[in-house]
Amino acid sequence: MTAVVLSLLSCSKESTKPAPGSIGIEAGDEVRLLSSSGFLTGKVSGSEAITSKWEQISGPSEVEIVSPDSLTTSIRQLTTGVYWFRLTATGSSGVAGKDSVRLVAKTGHYTDTLFIYLSAGQSNMDGRAGSPFPYASAAMVVDGVNVWQWGSPAHNSFQSFEYDRYNGSQSPGTPRWAGDIIAARKIRDSLYRQQRPVYLLKVTRGGSALSPFTREPACWTIPQDSVPAGRERMFDTLKNRLNAVRQWSYDQDSARYIKVVGMMWHQGESDKWATAAYQYRLTRLFAAIRQEVNDPVMPIVMGTITSSSADYSPLIHQAQLNIAKADPHIAIVEMDGQPLLPDGVHFNATAQTYFGDQLYSIIKTFAR
């Protein structure tokens, strides 16, 4: 028995198990693309040898399929309009299957590039510093630091960070902040001559672990690994918000290309009781996020956990250092010894300000 799963431009669904002696193919959901090029990707599982072929069914122009006999191929020369592509797969026994996928392209439409900074992790990146944000105006607004606000399609948009109303974290409306807002404010100041705001996409949740075997309500588990029922998969949340940003840009009268500059990350306390595979899981997670943003060397700045925390594990701390040592595109902000709130777990305003300053000192070297 052979199974073929087809996905397009990172949009895929769980495959259904084919009947014996057949090939199962499932195409991805409709894709909207702001580009004249892209790629098609098919995934194959099973013991039989498979031959595959991509072909264009319809569209406003003839598209170049660079490697039609490969499961993964780039496509070029797209113009604005609706296209259909078909993948046919044949097993060595002669059994064949096919499926098609729809692509909507809007090309020649960019007016600018929108540079996005990701902020992700658990509670210390979610934000627990309760004192007033040091760079806010009298109205507690930080102009030029635009944080993605999610919700219904009507509410998906970037809005100025506002301390008393919305902080982009898992708990909108809670008056608190984290070091990523400090870093974003300093990035904004560095761009003042260009009069460019900073766009921050925040995907954080307190208590989110890497391991799916904790009792936490959410986990940073990649799609290849299972998640217990009722748990939020934070990677899916990140992917959904990125897609919402892309859709928002696509729907603008003057659409802009979305470029993720880099990611700020802090997490680890919730894995205190599941340390064995932490380094393995985090390495795979970073690779999956980089694949999602189509940048295999996307810079990542990671804050370490601190030994003064009640949820500290030296194994987690060492794993974070090991990951950065093995990857030249991952930098460390050492947070060991930074002061905490009375709860003994979360950084206070002094620590978050230090974290933000250190994040900025590294992030400012990223290409923008």
- Helix (H), strand (E) at residue 91: strand 81-91
Q: State pLDDT tens for residues 40-70.
A: 777 666 556 678 889 999 999 999 998 898 8
DSSP characters for 51-64? Answer: EEEEEEEE-SSPPE
**Torsion angle, alpha carbons of 325, 355, 241, 227, to 10:** 60
Count up the domains in the chain and report the number: 2
The answer to whether residue 352 sits within a structural domain is yes
The reported pLDDT for the residue numbered 247 is: 79
Q: Are residues 98 and 169 in the same domain?
A: no
pLDDT at 160 over 60: yes
Mean pLDDT, the chain, integer: 80
The contacts of residue 86 (CB under 8 Å, 6+ apart) are: 54, 55, 56, 57, 98, 99, 100
Token output for 287: 């690779």
Give the total residue count for the chain: 368
Decide: pTM greater than 0.85.
no
Of residues 46 and 171, more confidently modeled: 46
Q: Are residues 224 and 245 in the same domain?
A: yes
Lowest model confidence (mean pLDDT) among 128-137, 215-224, 263-272, 282-291: 128-137
| Residue 81 domain boundaries | 2-105
The answer to whether residue 138 sits within a structural domain is yes
Q: Are residues 85 and 117 in the same domain?
A: no
What is the percent of the chain with per-residue pLDDT over 90, rounded to a whole number?
35
Q: What number of H helices and E strands is found in the chain?
A: 6, 19
The reported pLDDT for the residue numbered 259 is: 83
Pairing of strands 96-105, 232-233: unpaired
Which residue among 47, 74, 105 closes a domain? 105
Lowest model confidence (mean pLDDT) among 66-75, 89-98, 226-235, 318-327: 89-98
Output the domain CATH number for residue 66. Answer: 2.60.40.10
Q: Are residues 226 and 351 in the same domain?
A: yes
Cβ of 88: how many Cβ atoms within 10 Å?
A: 17
The contacts of residue 121 (CB under 8 Å, 6+ apart) are: 204, 208, 265, 266, 267
- Helix (H), strand (E) at residue 273: none
Q: State pLDDT tens for residues 3-43.
A: 332 323 333 333 334 444 444 555 455 666 666 777 777 76
Q: Strands, DSSP E only, in 181-326?
A: 198-204, 208-209, 218-219, 232-233, 256-266, 300-303
